[in-house]
Structure 1
C-alpha cells in the first residue's frame, strides 16, 4: 500500500507496517525517492544518491523472512558524508569547516540549515528520510537540529563506535542522531545499545523537577531570537510545574572555549595530514592551517588544554547532577541568511568534550521541546 503521504511515515511506523504487510520496503523507498526528486532542487540534502541501488536493495530486503529481520530492517537512514557508506548526505568539507555545502534550510531556502551535519538534518526535516546519523566536533549535531526544528541527540562521547567515520578529533567527535520524534531517537539508541548505568527511576515528570538555565561565558553573544526562545522554554517549564533556576559556570571554566580550540587545532594537525600531503591545493585553507600549525601551538599548550578539559569534566558533572537538565542555547541566534556560512559553535563547543548527553530543545528560529532526562538541552 502506498499513498501520497507514505513518505511521512516514521521509522517506528514503517517497521510496524513492514511487519503486518501493509507496506513493503520497496514501496516505502519508492515514496521517499519521489519526495527527494520533488524537493531536491530546493533542499539539496544529498551529496550522492543512487536510486536504482536503493530500489534494488529494498526489493532484496522484502525477500527476507520476518523472523530473520533486524531491528531497523528496511528503514532509510541518511548518513553524513564522512561515514563509509554508499548513500551520502551533505556536509562541510570533512565536517571540519563553517563553510556550507549546497544544502538549503527546508523552512527558508534563503537560510543555512546549519553545519556540519547539513544534509542529515535537512533530509529528516524535509521527510526525505525518517532518521539520520551525524557527528559533532563543535556544534555539528545540535546546531543543524535546532535550525531545522528536529530532535537531535549527541550522546556521551564514544558510546557509539566511530569505526568507518572520518575523524577530525579523537577527543571530541561523538556520533549524533536525528529524528522527528522522541520514540524514533529511542529506537536508534536501543539499536546502538545506548544505556545508562542505572535504569531510569520510572516515568519522568516535569512537574516538581529542577532545571537550570546556564548562561555560559559567551552569553553576551546571544541574539534576541535566542534569548526569546530560551525564555519561552523557561516559562513553558514553569507553567508545567517545574522549578527553573539561573546559574553560571564557575570562573575556572572560563577558558573552556579556548581549550576546545587549542585541542581541535592539535588534532586537526594529524587528522588532515594525509589529505594535505596528497592534495593540499584542494584542501580548505582552514584545514591547511591546522596541518601547518600556523597558530604556533606548542606541545605544552596542547597538553595543558587536554588536562584542563579533563579536569573540567567532573566539575560540570557535579553541577549537572543537581538538576533534571541544564538549559542553554543551541546557537547565537536565528539561522543566518545565506548558505555560505553554517553558523558558529560558540554555544555548543564547551559541552562537546563533556560526558553529558546533549539534546536540541530550544532554538532561535525553529524547533520543539524534546522530553529529556539528565540531558543538557542545547
Structure 2
C-alpha cells in the first residue's frame, strides 16, 4: 500500500529545499500550505503573536521571482521568529512596548533573511523572555499543558508542523526545555557564537540564540548560515555510535528529577550501550554544586541594569519579577556578584576538559514531562548549569513520560564544539527516535 503523500507544510527545511531546487514546489504553494495548517491549528495552539498572511504571500511571490542562480542557501524555507523583525510588532509580551515596530531586523533575523528564508511571523514569548507567567500558547500534544518558555511559540510552531525551523533564546532553559516538552530537537549553541544585536537583552552574560527543528539536518543548515565552525571540522560519515564513549551525568539537580526523566536517562544510556557505545557515569567536582546559585546571581545582577530604563519609565507596567531584579530585593552584594562571575568563569575550562574526554555528555533536559497548565512554563533546573558554562547543548527527543508526553535528553560538548555535537546528536537522535518510544510526528 502506498504511503499518503506528504503535504508541503510537513516538509522539513531540508526536504523543502530539494523541492524548490527541482522545481516541483513553489514558495507560494509552500506558504499557502503552511498558512492553511496554521489556520486549522491556531485556536488550539496559539503559537503566534503576529502573523499577516498577506505579507507572507507577498514574500513568497518575491522569492519565487528570484532567478535560481541568485537564490540564497535557505531559499524559501519558512521561519518562525521570536526575535525582532522589520515591519512586525515586537512587543516582548510587555504592555510597555505595545504597538512597537522595529525599523530593522535583529542581526539573527537579518542573517536568515539574507539566506532567503520566508519569515512567517512573530511567535509568542514570556514577558521579556523571563520566567514570568507563560503566554497564551499551549502544548500541541496536550492543550492542557505548557509548551515551556520563554520560547513558547517557536517550539510549539515547529512541533505542530506550522514551521520547519524557529528562533528562540536561552538565558536559563528557554530553548532546551521547550524542545523537550514539545518532542523536537533544540539547539543552544556556544554562548556568543551568534550575534544578539538588535534584540532586548535580559542577561549580557547568559543570553544565547536558540534554534528549533524536527531533525538535526535542519539544525546543521542553520549552523552553516551562522558560520559555526569547530577547529577540527567533523564529518557525519566518519562518526559511529559503536566505539564512542559517553559520560552520563545526573548533575546536582538530580533530586528534582521526576519518573519520566529518570526512566528516559536510564533508557538512553542502555540504548547507547546496546549500539556499541561505552557509557560511564560521572560526577562533577563539588565546586560545581554552586552553579545554580551563581547562575541566579549573574541573572539578577545583569537584569538590574537591563531593565532599569523600563523601571524608570513604566514601573507600573513591569511584571513583579523584573521590578524585583531592579530593586535588588535579593540583596545581592557587589562582592557576591564578583564571586559568582569569577567562580563560573573558573569552571568553564574545567567542564571543557571533562567533557572533552568523551564523545558527548548525556544529561537530563527537564525535570519531567510538561506540567499541566500554561501559567508555569516549567523548571530550568537542569539547564542553568550549561547556560552559565557557555557550552553547546542539544535536546534529543525520543522518550515519553508516564502521561505519554515527550521527554528529551540533552547532549553537551565543550565550548566551540558545536558542529561535533550536531554530528553526534544526529546519530543519537536516530536511535532514540527509533527505539525510545517517541517519534516526532504531527499532533493534529
Structure 1 length normalisation: TM-score?
0.95
Structure 1 residue 68, shift from structure 2 partner: 1.0
Structure 2 Cα separation of the partners of residues 98 and 216 of structure 1? 25
The question of 1:12 aligning with 2:46 is answered no
More divergent stretch after superposition (198-207 vs 25-34):
198-207
Among 23, 26, 29, the alignment partner of 1:27 is: 29
Residues 70-149 of structure 1 mapped to structure 2, 5 A cutoff:
70-80=72-82, 82-85=83-86, 86=88, 87-149=121-183
- Write the mapping of 1:336-355 to structure 2, written as runs, cut at 5 A: 336-355=371-390
CA-to-partner distance for each residue in 1:122-171, whole Å, 9 max, x for gaps?
A: 11010100101110000000000000011111110111111122111111
1:259 to 266, 284, 294: 294
Which 5+ residue runs of structure 1 have no aligned equivalent? none
Aligned positions of 1:95-244 closer than 5 A:
95-200=129-234, 203-244=238-279
- Partner residue in 2 for 1:366: 406
Select which of 33, 54, 57 maps to 2:56: 54
Equivalent pairs counted in the alignment come to 374
In the TM superposition, what is the alpha-carbon distance from 1:218 to its structure 2 partner?
Answer: 1.5
Match of 1:287 among 313, 318, 322: 322
C-alpha distance after superposition, 1:250-283 (max 9, x if no partner):
1011101000000100001011112212221121
What are the ranges of 5 or more consecutive residues in structure 2 without an aligned counterpart?
A: 89-120, 413-419, 426-444
- SS of 1:311's equivalent in the other structure is helix
Deviations 1:61-89 (A, max 9, x none): 11111111111121111111x43442210
> Any conservation in 1 of the 2:394–2:421 contact (CA below 8 Å)?
no
Task: Select between 355-364 and 24-33 the one with higher mean Cα deviation.
Answer: 355-364
Mapped to 1, the partners of 2:128 and 2:377 lie a distance apart of: 14
Considering only aligned residues, what root-mean-square deviation do their CA atoms show, in Å? 1.8
- Distance in 1, matches of 2:374 and 2:280, equals 36
Name the CA distance, whole Å, in 2 between partners of 1:278 and 1:65. 49
* Structure 1: distance between partners of 2:130 and 2:410: 27
For the Cα contact (< 8 Å) 2:81–2:123, is it kept in 1? yes
TM-score by length of 2: 0.81
Q: 2:65 aligns with which of 59, 63, 81?
A: 63
Superposed structure 1 runs of 4+ greater than 6 Å apart? 368-372
Contact 1:117/1:141 (8 A) holds in 2: yes
